[in-house]
Amino acid sequence: MNIENIRKLTPYQDINGLLSDWVEGIKNILGGNVVGLYLSGSLAYGSKYGVALDGPDFNTLIPSLDIRDVRKASARDLFKEWEPKINDAEWISNSHYQSYLVLNLCRILYTVVGSEPGSKKVAAKWTKAIYPQWEDLIMEAEQWKFGMEMKRSDEVIAFIKFSIEKVNETGLLD
């Protein structure tokens, strides 16, 4: 992708400028040692696997992953990283952590139960549709911004337990 296209990549001109400056700077510093520079995550909106800012399509550089392996890794992450938070009252009372955790649980559910990886935004939409009982909690997590209070510790803990139940029902880690 050329610099002019990078400057039009997202609807956010400040981000586009930062990305184009970053690509030019890295290429100036590393020269021919650059294999590729890639954008992934929410800024690569609409692209499941990310965007090549410079270099070949990322999928040509590495072998594709089996979705079952991705699903298993997501399930293991639930039990290793998030299940212990049930007993960490100080951590779970933090508004930022509550929002972050809820959206990560949506992504885990989408990947493990829905059998497809996706962004937090896509996963949250899917989770609200499939499990409408969690819609209010997920909507608050999506709308949360620094400085806002999110006092939903009990519901977040219940959502962790629900997520564990749904992941266990898949039998993926048996």
SS3 132: helix
pLDDT score recorded for residue 94: 97
Q: Is the pLDDT reported for residue 44 higher than 90?
A: no
pLDDT band at 23 (very low <50, low <70, confident <90, very high): very high
If you write DSSP's letter for every residue of the chain in order, what string do you get?
--HHHHTTSSS-HHHHHHHHHHHHHHHHHHGGG---EEE-GGGGTT-TT-EEEESS-GGGTSPPPPHHHHHHHHHHHIIIIIGGGGG-HHHHT-HHHHHHHHHHHHHHHHHHTS-----HHHHHHHHHHH-GGGHHHHHHHHH--TT-----HHHHHHHHHHHHHHHHHHTTT-
pLDDT band at 2 (very low <50, low <70, confident <90, very high): confident
Whether the model pTM is above 0.85: no
- Summarised one tens digit per residue, pLDDT across range 45-86 is 556 567 889 999 887 888 888 999 999 999 999 999 999 999
Segment 113-141 shows an average pLDDT of: 95
Domain spans in the chain, listed from the N-terminal domain onward: 3-60, 67-170
DSSP letter for 43, please: G
Across 25-34, 51-60, 155-164, the highest mean pLDDT is recorded for 155-164
Q: What percent of the chain has pLDDT over 90?
A: 72
